[in-house]
Chain A
């Protein structure tokens, strides 16, 4: 999975609005979580100060409960930063990519592919964050894929948002301190 391939996939990706428009009936669940969560002023200050372009490609399913409950958090993070470009791809429409990012032998989603400005791969993260796994385990090994419209406690949502933000910050700092990119940008 090289930069040329990832650029092609990224270019095929949809914006948030375009992605939700692919299924207006299910989009309501996504928007419900989107309205429930927001970045704190500190979190906004952090991502607002990013200076390296960062490409994020989220392989997702609009029907998927884990995507419903985490995708809007990614969108909030991207909206807070001038340098994050986030796109969405349907897993089943891009089976060639999905096959290459199987987790535990399953076509799990969401999986986010983090890339540099020239689409060099930096990190892959999915399907759930630690906060989300702890919450699900605490519910005593309930349904492995939650219902898309099921309510999510605020603290679980905020913890999951922070988990994703930590990975975004890590990737950004990797790019910001990269010798290759510092030379390219003279900074």
Chain B
């Protein structure tokens, strides 16, 4: 799942922005869930301030599908986060299509080609983190629904399941940003 920087740069270059990606699923009727999630996931003031304080460039590539519900949720959250600091967060989407089999085959999770899978990379496309497919709160919810008591999920359901995912995605971005901000290699380069 870790990618060579040149390969990640290449795939990032083939990626599309959120608007173009969501539009690509319009004909198949895939757009409404994305618009719905996006509408619910505006950052609050504290989240906006946090992301606005990011000082390191982050290149983010999300392998996804317009048809996928979890992709709409995480993708919309990532888009909201990126919009809060467009100068530092560079986000692209790639569909899990055959034309990107070179990437898809490197993103296997539990022997399946699951989506979404997100790579967060440094300014020079060195991998910082790889994440997929669902967040913890989503897995807890699915386990409760599918397995009932056998799921043995102890945490109570979140008050707002959609915004809980936003916070989980934001935590992922904050961790990557701090890794980059504290990186001796990048601190030397930027003199900070």
Report A's interface with B, CB cutoff 8 A.
1, 3, 42, 45-46, 49-51, 100-106, 116, 118, 120-124, 127-130, 133-134, 136-137, 141, 144, 166-167, 169-170, 173-178, 180-181, 187
**B154-A46 in contact (CB<8A):** yes
Report B's interface with A, CB cutoff 8 A.
1-2, 5, 108-112, 122, 124, 126-131, 133-136, 139-140, 142-143, 146-147, 150-154, 171, 174-175, 178-187
**B182-A141 in contact (CB<8A):** yes
**B2-A101 in contact (CB<8A):** yes
Of the candidates A106, A116, A174, the one whose C-beta lies within 8 Å of that of B134 is A174
Determine the chain A residues whose CB is within 8 A of the CB of B140 once the complex forms. 173
Alpha-carbon distance between A181 and B143 when the two chains are bound, in angstroms: 14
Alpha-carbon distance between A92 and B178 when the two chains are bound, in angstroms: 26
Determine the chain B residues whose CB is within 8 A of the CB of A124 once the complex forms. 1-2, 130
Could you tell me the distance in whole angstroms from the C-beta of B59 to the nearest C-beta in chain A? 12
Alpha-carbon distance between A17 and B134 when the two chains are bound, in angstroms: 34
**B142-A173 in contact (CB<8A):** yes
**B111-A176 in contact (CB<8A):** no
Given contacts A100-B2, A130-B171, A169-B136, contact A116 B110 (CB under 8 A): yes
Determine the chain B residues whose CB is within 8 A of the CB of A46 once the complex forms. 152, 154
Could you tell me the distance in whole angstroms from the C-beta of A102 to the nearest C-beta in chain B? 7
Given contacts A116-B110, A128-B179, contact A104 B185 (CB under 8 A): yes
**A177-B146 in contact (CB<8A):** yes
**A102-B134 in contact (CB<8A):** no
